[in-house]
Structure 1
Amino acid sequence: MFDIYMARLHEFTVVLYAASVLLYFIDFLASNRKANRVAFWLLAFVWGLQTIFLLLYMWNTGRFPVLTIFEGLYFYAWILITFSLIINRIMKVDFIVFFTNVLGFFIMALHTFAPIEIESDVLANQLMSELLFFHIIGAILSYGAFSLSFVFALLYLIQYDLLKRKKWGSRLIRIANLSQLEKMSYLFASIGVPMLVISLILGIQWAYMKLPNMVWLDSKVLGSLLVLILYSIYLYLKVGRGMSGKSLATWNVAAFLVVLINFFLFGRLSSFHFWYE
């Protein structure tokens, strides 16, 4: 009975999340400040519920919930909401919250409604180790940083298009200037790359000890390396070549699409990331 109630609360949370995203969309279209305020507090309430669910899950399982795709999706969505609320409070850029939470809502809905089998605690406990724990945490946090970098790059492209077409108005002002958007996109990419490097080092060390017969040409390994290469090239283009503007933002958006492919597809095809199955 308790599990049924929890499932209904999760569904209720998704409904609230949908309402928040809808109100943010109304604000985006019509610059409605009342809709923006209600959307923000709805989102804060969703974050509170998610945090409670996360703590309850940890209390029931006795471990941090990141060892399965079911758990990883939830933690990823929580990270996105947390980052977006913090950034909104620091920078007062409302549209960051909207675009970040469109992505977060997709992740949360997938977690709640997709037919993903929840793996047994026995399997999770078998996989548990400090190396694996920090490997997965680092990977998800790096993906969260890349997500925010993507959102700022996407807003850069939107702002660039508005300026090119001379679409002056309140929406143009509320997105923030191009220089700030590019700076923040670069900042989060700079955070994500070293975190992913550390995660890969820990993951390789864990696999070397626990999986001596591991196939190093595994799809997940190659996908993670590809993500690292793409964002490293992004940083090189920005710092080493002095590139900026639309081309750099477009590269960022393309790199993030590879992040999503690596997270959702390559983990399924992997021969040893079986806790994501």
Structure 2
Amino acid sequence: MTVANVKWIYDLTIILYALSVLGYFIDFLQNNRKANQLAFWLLSIVWGLQTIFLVIQVIKIGGFPILTPFEGLFFYAWVIVTLSLLINWFFRVDFFVFFANVLGFIIMAINLFAAKGEASFVLKEQLMSELSIIHITMAFISYGAFSLAFIFSIMYLIQYQMLKEKKWGKRLQRFGNLSYLEKMAYLCSMVGVPLLLLSLILGVVWASIKVADFSWLDAKVIISFIVLLAYSTYLYQKVGRGIEGKSLALWNVGAFLIVLINVFLSGTLSDFHFWYV
């Protein structure tokens, strides 16, 4: 079964995802709880379709589908949807799912233009090892955690600006207080940093064993460690120096921009990374 055979699942997922984001947008503008509930159920269906698509791909290739740009970005979007639903279920942060899934939808839309072909047999042989699969999977999960930290920081900055301009109202209340948004951004970053560190350790070990032309000066390696340094510095500023507020949120946003560079651009400059992680 090829990607084309299940393309209707992907197309339906995109359509329902767009409708879900639209519902959350209506709720954001009009404080419409019915639109919010409808958007949540549409997003739940999106998650179900994404999961079915992943399972089909697992059965098709006989392994975890993260070896091509298409598979990698799809898994990244699935991680964002999964984590956003879990946070919405356990913490009930209004507007968080809307912002998180605007990002998830953008990734899904970009993925429409990603290469959908299968990885070559040689590449599969090179990558289909426990070390490489765990390395790639942990990296994407860490990126998912950083994505959520970015969303909470964006919400913090919006809330901060609304308070500064004294825009009181129901929308302001639904954002949640600033300290809570900052705490959630910190917790997501705290989860992402050790996952990324472990991923990089596994990646270096695997590359040292399997990749003949592995270099520490490879663009992907360098930018990955810059991402780790950026978020480690964020945690140090928060915990070690006690810095809080707008400057910390801006640092988190800047760190996530480096993540996006690492996901979408650095792979094209790499000598041995054939995928996006």
TM over 0.5, shorter chain: yes
- The answer for the alignment partner of 2:115 in structure 1 is 116
Could you tell me how far apart the structure 2 residues matched to 1:175 and 1:45 are? 25
Q: Which amino acid aligns with 2:119?
A: S
In the alignment, which residue of structure 2 is the partner of 1:258?
258
Counterparts of residues 1-277 of structure 1 (less than 5 Å): 3-111=3-111, 113-120=112-119, 122=121, 123-276=123-276
Equivalent residue letter for 1:37? Q
1 CA distance for matches of 2:52 and 2:7? Answer: 14
| Superposed displacement of residue 125, structure 1 | 3.6
Contact 2:150 2:185 in 1 (8 A): yes
**Partner Cα distance (1:140, 1:203) in 2:** 13
Mapped to 2, the partners of 1:249 and 1:10 lie a distance apart of 34
Structure 2, unaligned runs of 5 or more:
none
Q: 1:86 to 1:8 in 2, by over 3 A?
A: same
CA distance in 1, matches of 2:180, 2:114: 41
Distance 1:90 1:189 in 2: 18
Contact 2:13 2:46 in 1 (8 A): yes
CA distance in 1: counterparts of 2:79 and 2:114, whole angstroms? 22
Aligned partners of 1:100 and 1:175: how far apart in 2? Answer: 14
1:116 maps to a residue whose letter is A
Residues of 2 paired with 1:88 and 1:121: CA distance? 39
Q: Secondary structure at the match of 2:265?
A: helix
Q: Matched residues in 2 for 1:276 and 1:164: separation?
A: 40
Q: Is the 8 A contact 2:94 2:176 kept in 1?
A: no
CA apart distance, 1:40:
0.4
Cα deviation 1:192-218 (Å, max 9, x = unaligned): 111111000000000111124322101
Q: Is the 8 A contact 1:20 1:38 kept in 2?
A: yes
Q: Give the 4+ runs in structure 1 shifted more than 6 A.
A: none
8 Å CA contact retained: 1:149, 1:252: yes
CA 1:24–1:203 in 2, change beyond 3 Å: closer, same or farther? same
Alignment partners' CA distance in 2, 1:14 and 1:250: 31
- On the 8 A contact 1:124/1:275 being kept in 2, the answer is no
Number of equivalent positions: 276
State the percentage of identical aligned residues: 59
Give the secondary structure class of the aligned counterpart of 1:94: coil
Q: CA deviation at 1:9?
A: 2.3
* CA contact 2:159–2:172 (8 Å) conserved in 1: yes
Structure 1 residues 215, 85: CA separation in 2 closer, same or farther (over 3 Å shift)?
Answer: same
* AA partner of residue 55 (structure 2): L
Query: Contact 2:70/2:114 (CA < 8 Å) preserved in 1?
Result: no
Q: CA deviation at 1:54?
A: 0.6
CA distance in structure 2 between the aligned counterparts of 1:108 and 1:253, rounded to whole angstroms: 21
Amino acid of the structure 1 residue aligned with 2:237:
L
1:81–1:101 Cα contact (<8 Å) kept: yes
C-alpha separation between the residues in 2 aligned to 1:226 and 1:210? 24
* Alpha-carbon distance, 1:126 to partner: 3.3
Please tell me the root mean square deviation across aligned C-alpha atoms, in Å: 1.5
- Contact 2:69–2:114 at 8 Å: present in 1 too? no
Q: Tell me if the contact between 2:263 and 2:276 (Cα under 8 Å) persists in the aligned partners.
A: no
Q: Is the 8 A contact 1:142 1:195 kept in 2?
A: yes
* Matching residue's letter, 2:135: H
CA offset digits 1:240-268 (Å, max 9, x no partner) = 11000000000000110110011100011
Task: Name the CA distance, whole Å, in 2 between partners of 1:41 and 1:127.
Answer: 37
